[in-house]
Structure 1
Amino acid sequence: MGVGEQHVRRAGASDAGTLARLLYEFNTEFDAETDSEPVLAVRFARILASDAVIALLASDGRQETGFALITLRPAIWFDGPVATLDELYVVPASRGHGAGTALLTQARELLRERGCPEMHINVDEVDVDARRFYERHGFVNIEPGVDYRMLCYVGSTGRP
């Protein structure tokens, strides 16, 4: 692997601790509320057993440089599932070296193979860098033929 070259592979249950560490780093970097790494590792191990969950790990040959977490759900609009990119994180020192692009490219390839025609991504409006990244890769928040943005709403189910 050349300098800066990124390798992306599908993560399995044995990678739950690594994914938990990266998600914890992601959340703490942006001062988001987070559970502990051990709690996150248990959750990753549980959800990675599902065919509806895809986790990818990027590496530069020395260390993990980022991860992506994608969930699939049945859709009425297509024959295949709809994907949601739940998380995409690249460690600060690896940003700008292709890890995010490699993760997104691999995710799209895997989703095409599974017959998934569409991927949804929720991004905070204030996260200009993430929005620019996704837009550079062809994602939009305005569907063709309309002049208004798509929004994502979040609400509680009433459960803790």
Structure 2
Amino acid sequence: MTDPQLPAGIRAATPDDVPAVLGLIRELADYERALDQVRATPDQLRAALFAPSPGVFALVAENEGEVVGFALYFLSFSTWEGVHGIHLEDLYVSPTRRGTGVGAALLASLAAIAVARGYARVEWSVLDWNTPSIEFYRRLGAVALDEWTGFRLSGDALLATAARSTG
């Protein structure tokens, strides 16, 4: 199955993009009031994105040779649909490029990849206080999954739950 032609300025990330993407991840974390939680290193990101069989992928938006936005995603699977989907982990555009169509182009590119590959959906989470992003997604036709609540196991709870498997 072939992938669609991406819009001008949008392309698959390369290993050379890792420092710029990590810089944008840090900007995103700062915007989300969680910069102190970023632990990712360039080596970790490079290994995750460019392993022989990567489990995570990235598109970048480039303007005049500068990476100004990115979409980092991985595959999900719908047991009801019986096919994969795309889970968008992060979508971020530098503040100076917001409102210029970069975010919409990144999301349109992910949608085109999903359609070309026969995937059922593109899904993501957004912080409930992030009104500008929520409004942007709604303008594109995305709908909130209000009936779903996200959960996470991490840290001590993850370790304790994992320990239960060694009965």
CA distance in 2, matches of 1:23, 1:10: 16
Q: Secondary structure in 2 aligned to 1:81?
A: strand
Q: CA separation of 1:10/1:153 partners in 2, compared to 1, >3 Å: closer, same or farther?
A: same
Bigger CA radius of gyration: 2
Kindly state the Cα deviation for residue 112 of structure 1 after the two structures are TM-superposed.
1.5
**Higher share in helix:** 2
Q: Deviations over 1:39-97 (max 9, x none)?
A: 43222212213444220100122421110011102332224212111000011111111
For 2:159 and 2:14, locate their aligned partners in 1 and report how far apart those are by CA, in whole Å: 29
Alignment-mate amino acid for residue 24 of structure 1: R
The residue that corresponds to 1:145 in the other structure is: none
Moved more, 22-31 or 98-107: 22-31
What pairs up with 1:38-117 in 2 under 5 angstroms? 39-48=40-49, 49=51, 50-117=53-120
Which of residues 147, 150, 154 is equivalent to 2:148? 150
Q: Deviations over 1:90-124 (max 9, x none)?
A: 11111111110111011111122222111111111
Aligned 8 A contact 2:59 2:106 in 1: yes
TM-score by length of 2: 0.78
Q: Unmatched 5+ residue regions in structure 1?
A: 143-147
**Structure-2 residue corresponding to 1:139:** 142
Gaps of 5+ in 2: 1-6, 161-167
Q: How far apart, CA to CA, are the structure 1 residues paired with 2:37 and 2:88? A: 19
The alignment-based identity, stated in percent, is: 27
Give the CA RMSD over aligned residues: 2.3
Provide the residue aligned with 1:22 in structure 2: 24
